[in-house]
Amino acid sequence: MKKLELRDHIIKIASDLFYSNGYNATGINEIIAKADIAKATLYSHFKSKDELCVAYLKNMHNSFMNGLDAFIKSKNEAKQQLLGIFDFLRELYIKPDFNGCWAIKCIAEIGSNNNAIRQEIQNQKLNLLAYLKKLIENNLPNNSIAETEKLANAIYLLYESAISESHLQQNDWPIYSAKSLAKQLMPINI
């Protein structure tokens, strides 16, 4: 395997384990065994478990954002695009391997002094919020900056609640409820 392919293979194995079992419950030796590599090979790509975790977080976020963007772009109507994050979440929820938000799960497991992982998660959440703002700007160009920010923040908070609660409740009613509340926040003329 080429060096880049091997790195991606390690990230894929670690991602599957971190997402399904949790960051703290997944040991380096388990990753090494599942990836069928030597310990030295792992450490030639990642200096620490935390560094591997940051790569996992980036991998998950990039996959999510690419999927969300493709899903949103497939919708023609403004309202469908603005509420599309909830429909996309519903599609994620019905997959058998759905295990909630990778970032929220991870942040709950790390200590308050783990700045590298915390910063990566904060950046991802800010990236999602910026995406929502841009989506609103594109679909509601007459909104003021304040209105756009208020609506983006509300959709973001409703989404975060929906993903956490749908995982906790093992039901999709939080997704439908969040979408319904977001719909009420939309201007009547779209």
Q: What tens digit of pLDDT does each residue of 40-62 get? A: 999 999 999 999 999 999 999 99
For tokens 């079992």, name the residue.
21
Percent of the chain with pLDDT over 90: 93
The model carries a pTM of 0.92
Enumerate residues 6+ apart whose C-beta is below 8 A from 45.
Answer: 3, 6, 7, 10
Q: How far apart are CA 117 and CA 132, in angstroms?
A: 23
pLDDT for position 1: 66
The mean per-residue pLDDT over the stretch 96-112 comes to 92
Q: Quote the CA–CA distance of 137 and 131 in Å, as a whole number.
A: 10
pLDDT of 190 above 90: no
| Segment 137-187, tens digit of pLDDT | 999 999 999 999 999 999 999 999 999 999 999 999 999 999 999 999 998
Dist CA 155 CA 151 (whole Å): 6
